[in-house]
Structure 1
Amino acid sequence: MSNSLKASTTGLVIVDKARKRLGWTKTSTARWWQDAHTSRATLRRFWQGDRIQQEIFIAICQAVGINDWQSIADIPNADFEELSTQYLDWDEAPDIESFYGRNQELTQLEEWIVGDRCKLIIITGIAGIGKTSLALALADRLQLQFDGLIWRSLDSALSLVSLLDGLLNIFEETAVDDIPQDTATLIHHLQQRRCLLILDGLNESQKHYHQFILQLSRAHHQGCILLTSREQANIIESKTKTVRSLTLTGLAKAEAVELFQGRGFTGKEIGLSTLIQLYRGNPLALKLVTPLIQSVFGGNIGAFLSQNTIVIGDRLRAIFKQQFKQLCDLEQNILYWLAIWQQPISFSRLQTHLLISLDPATILDAIVSLERRSLLEKWICSGEPAFTLQPLVMKIVTDELVERATQEIIQVMQSQDISDFKVLRTHWLLRPGSDDIVGDRILHQLHEKLWRIYNTNLGQMLEEFLVLLNDQSPLVIGYITCNLTTIINRLG
């Protein structure tokens, strides 16, 4: 028997079903090639129908539970002409642990790419929702339908020149001397062959990429550019037949249950449906919270839910905080109010709580911007649109609000200058219409944090702040007095 093997068409179908049962992707689940003691490149060759070493072939089959590797191999065909993707460069693609569901999304994307021959597709959604994983699964599915597949992660420090140089180096053996080494050169190569170019992780601050992507979407070529982003980029506001976008939402309940089963749960635990809804089916958030539930609560989901809190891993928290800092002041202020309200609030009611009256169009623009960033949830209350925050965002914004209010009080303590009050001036931290001071979580968090810093001196310090507000205009005071007085009352 030859020392190398390739999979038959039927064999690949069998392996594909086996890996789906495990929630693995074809080539991006690190555990697969690690268990087979091989590399991702070799695993890709396996899927392409290339011959690989017999022992590695067998190990790849066994890693997904197939011991009858002979049923997978295409042994008689020794004269097989190897399939290969002419340009294959996706070493920047991240490894993922598992992938569940998304069959409808994959089918839609495949239809756009293969059927409609779209030139630009953008996958958007909140952090952790699975944009990169979906792009990887799509690349697994479609790679053999392209002459080339290129993956690039859009690091914020990567310049457009560096990105272009890296892309053009892939085509260097067919470089054209009379075309400048710029976007036009890349377009030339995309005209010569059908390539799938995946640009992963565009964010709002990377304006230098927008014109480049716009040029690629408008040019005549055979390629397809697949873009992932937390924000709906302005570059595709006017959709055409060759430009599409897909906003990714959370996993369906059945898919999320599969995720939990893959992590040691039975899928029948009490409270599982509530937990999935609490995290809005966000796969990364669910993956991050499961170890805590298993280690601290012994796998008891109900016990975790009884704590009435949301746990966010450091990775997700860092992403959300970075995104929050990129917002303008008005956008941040709107998020603060929604965190204070804790429930859907109509546009007209939101307007009444802004300290300074603004043109409604300006506020609407800010809301549209927040929606584009997947930070808002829209509800219809009494026939009128109302807005609130996803629970994950609510947690981050609340923590940010408490931290900012704390820092303002520390600053005023040092400066004795009330102009250092910002958010405490523009926002009343007690939920409007609530008389339950003890039950208000934001003021409770702020009180606890200040008490740890100032202890028994807190009350006297806040009373001194109130003296500083004497003879100040209502506009200067804003909500400062309300906030300080409410905290003082809690001390009593």
Structure 2
Amino acid sequence: MLKLADELVFARTGKHLNDLQKTILRGTWENEEYKEIAQKVKLSEDRVREVGMELWQILSQELGEKVKKSNIRASMERLQVSIVSHLEQHHNQIGSFNISGESKHPPNIPNSQADNEETANSKPTKTSHQDLSEMPELGAFYDRTPQLETLKTLILEQGCRLIALTGISGIGKTTLAAQLVQQIKDEFDYVIWCNFETSPTLAEFQDKLIQFFSQSEKLDTPETNQKALPLIKYLQKYRCLVVLDDIHNLFSSGELAGKYKLGYEEYRCLFKNIETLSHQSCFLLIGWEQPREVTQVKNQNPAICTLQLTGLDIEPARELLRHYGLGEIENYSAIIHRYQGNPFWLKSVGNLFQELGEGVTEILQDETILLPEDLQDSLQQTISRLSDWEKEVLSLMAREGDGIKLVKLIENTKIPPSDLVNVVQSLWRRCLIEQQGNCYILPEVWRQYIKGLCRDTAS
């Protein structure tokens, strides 16, 4: 049954059954309810029902009859009977032709390699339209296999519609996304990478997408005079992957994380529609900040999720350091930990070592935090986006040294408690602070940099 269903789906969509579709088919065959299937795959019942309805629709189109959960077994059994009957008829025809000495094959039944090739070639081939002109070139890519597999599962198997890829500057978000797109782009009808460095308005962004979809559609069917559809219609009609890089440029500097700039508030409605309306596409948002409606806490809505990217593991980070001659020093793991496995920060220290030589390693052995100019520029770029209250809290945490509890923060600042909670949440969403138990920690690189800023201000 699964093999037959897979062939039918492939004939209609050009894609094989994914794991979730197979699980739904197996469960339906065994008379399980959507609720039972949902419990197995740890998804919501609504999500399983939605994927099931889409699957029944595909099978209905291919079989030429109304297929639903209640009659899928009967429909597939009728198809099996039809196939067996056809094969028996084909066998009898072959036998009669052999008896009469004819070498000609029965009409409409492919029985030779040439016939099979002709049949295969007659099937419409899937056309994938891709605009990756704004995607950066793939440079050195250090092992991110677990994160890649997680993203593939979310997009290809679980059908997640809106994914926020977040993390501090330099952690490798764009590099990971570019690697992901290269690996999965052929699974989609349309793929486009949009860089938000220029902060396009919602109207400009939607016009860009609609133009991309509609022009490609006209190329596929030049004989028709098709009119452009609303954006959501293309997302429903085709399977699209849309990547939005540098999404933080939609948000205001000097405010808590995720507050839209004046004139950009309409993006909230776009992201809400992508999350709630039924379609088969995926938006991947990349940036230091994410929309406030995209929470970083795991929730029960499978249509929307956040993946926070952290530093490289020890071995990939050591491989990076080897390019700069630092991979074999005695305490390389301590250096990686000190710089949080951040690829950009480690490259910055590596460049310093290549320019100044062995003296740098002697300083690094002493647990000193070196802050090369390009690393400081990156940190300052992030600091410049913070609100005054966020800067005040970071300064306090830098002076404290160890972790600090929320109660102590309230005692040592003049920020009203209700506002302070929002400030801490904003810093956490920006990935600038870490949480250990009931304490908040400021990583060493940030501590060193902020203490330097405080000294400069005092002087």
Report runs of 4+ in structure 1 exceeding 4 Å deviation: 79-85, 175-179
1:218 aligns with 2:276: yes
Measured after TM superposition, the shift of residue 328 of structure 1 is 2.2
Correspondence for 1:188: 233
Correspondence for 1:34: none
Correspondence for 2:434: 377
Query: 1:86 & 1:336 partners in 2: Cα distance?
Result: 51
Correspondence for 2:133: 91
Correspondence for 1:329: 388
Query: 1:326 & 1:333 partners in 2: Cα distance?
Result: 13
Measured after TM superposition, the shift of residue 94 of structure 1 is 1.3
1:341 to 362, 377, 400: 400
Query: 1:400 & 1:156 partners in 2: Cα distance?
Result: 29
Identity of aligned residues (%): 29
Give CA-to-partner distance per residue, 1:304-331, whole Å, 9 cap, x none. Answer: 44382322442x5344323323322221
Give CA-to-partner distance per residue, 1:347-397, whole Å, 9 cap, x none. Answer: 22222222x3x44232122111110110102223xxxx2222122322332
| Contact 1:271-1:302 within 8 A present in 2 as well | no
CA pair 373-85 structure 1, distance change in 2 beyond 3 A: farther
Correspondence for 2:351: 291
1:308 to 358, 362, 368: 368
Query: 1:127 & 1:87 partners in 2: Cα distance?
Result: 31
Q: Secondary structure at the match of 2:306?
A: strand
Give the letter aligned to residue 390 of structure 1.
P
| Contact 2:403-2:439 within 8 A present in 1 as well | yes
Query: 1:313 & 1:281 partners in 2: Cα distance?
Result: 19
Alignment of 1:66-77 (within 5 A): none
1:270 aligns with 2:315: no
1:362 aligns with 2:423: no
> Which has the larger displacement, 141-150 or 208-217?
208-217
RMSD: 2.9
Q: Secondary structure at the match of 2:130?
A: strand
Measured after TM superposition, the shift of residue 257 of structure 1 is 1.2
Q: Secondary structure at the match of 2:307?
A: strand
| Contact 2:165-2:285 within 8 A present in 1 as well | yes
| Contact 1:294-1:300 within 8 A present in 2 as well | no
Measured after TM superposition, the shift of residue 249 of structure 1 is 0.7
> Which has the larger displacement, 189-198 or 80-89?
80-89
Query: 2:371 & 2:126 partners in 1: Cα distance?
Result: 45
Correspondence for 1:241: 302
Correspondence for 2:412: 353
1:202 aligns with 2:236: no
| Contact 1:90-1:149 within 8 A present in 2 as well | yes
CA pair 313-228 structure 1, distance change in 2 beyond 3 A: farther
Measured after TM superposition, the shift of residue 271 of structure 1 is 1.9
Give the letter aligned to residue 321 of structure 1.
Q
Query: 2:373 & 2:269 partners in 1: Cα distance?
Result: 34
Measured after TM superposition, the shift of residue 405 of structure 1 is 3.2
Structure of greater relative contact order (alpha carbons < 8 Å, 6+ residues apart)? 2
Give the letter aligned to residue 328 of structure 2.
K
Q: Secondary structure at the match of 1:246?
A: strand
Instruction: List runs of 5+ in structure 2 lacking aligned partners.
Output: 1-117, 219-223, 253-259
Measured after TM superposition, the shift of residue 292 of structure 1 is 0.8
| Contact 2:336-2:346 within 8 A present in 1 as well | yes
Correspondence for 2:341: 281
Query: 2:152 & 2:199 partners in 1: Cα distance?
Result: 31
| Contact 1:149-1:197 within 8 A present in 2 as well | yes
Alignment of 1:58-137 (within 5 A): 86-137=128-179
Give the letter aligned to residue 444 of structure 2.
P
Give the letter aligned to residue 250 of structure 1.
G
Query: 2:402 & 2:409 partners in 1: Cα distance?
Result: 12
